Structure 1
């Protein structure tokens, strides 16, 4: 999303699970942060996007393509179809992370006036459009595949049990389409501060 804080409570359900009931912290507004600490430089997000594009996504896409080619000549092989769908599910998950990283890096650049504003705004929009297509593919696969991608429960959610994964994806798709033109945000003063906490936590010089 260009600015997740602009969403109504009902719209945010696509990104929230009933398991996590604490108020939003800064990490839910900007993925460069975790628990109030800035963990990632924007350059690290950019580097991750580049790695996904050069290595991980082509590798997974190639594996899915090989399994697709093998399926017609093997007859009704449930195990092979299941493996193809699992690799495709992993590919879709990786694409979501990649799109999220690119969207956040572009939004941060726009907010901090780094680079060309129109270019960064266009990059943010492109990342959201890519995730719209990715979500559509998830919904198509969940409707057609016999593979169990999510363990679903009618009771309480846990880190491993979901209540409404398909409904959440449909809502996510609807909200992305409705808000793709929103202005990037929010502007956080922490974006302009150095990563002193990260260096303190992970410094090689610490005893």
Structure 2
């Protein structure tokens, strides 16, 4: 059963069905890619459900102990925002894996990384953990062997269009625990989400 807070999320403004394809086109073009057939993205954002504070979701898996202790019983506790989104992984075989992710961006004053979890959207099975693993560092840990194997066996393209050319970008702070394709795709989804939010703010 999904957490009750999901019914009280604050929506993020934006027409994502239109703006995300525009963002992808701009990003690919900056990398010198103009052929639409080459603009393949292994993820498809289905819905950005919204965001909430820590106090609204005490039971988030992988919440750091210091925040869990401080947040208990305080619905106004503020330590970063939880972002909720539904997305699909698009395999090279044309099949879609429906997922739901929640992650908290962390508290800069605590030098947090991100934390949260990824579920299979239809079964609510936990597919991967998002772990605050160090000084502003995040680790993506895939735990479903079935889904790990599903993508390891495919010659799936994981775009690097959002990688920082100079290093030091967001992706450099998010570590795939085992280096699996599933972990790298989840990492890409987080980065893509942030790029989309930044893009929308620039368009305002």
TM-score w.r.t. the length of structure 2 is 0.26
Q: Which structure has the larger Rg?
A: 1
Larger helix fraction of residues: 1
The structure whose residues are more often strand, as a share, is: 2
Q: TM-score, normalised by structure 1?
A: 0.25
Which protein has greater RCO, CA pairs closer than 8 Å, 6+ apart? 1
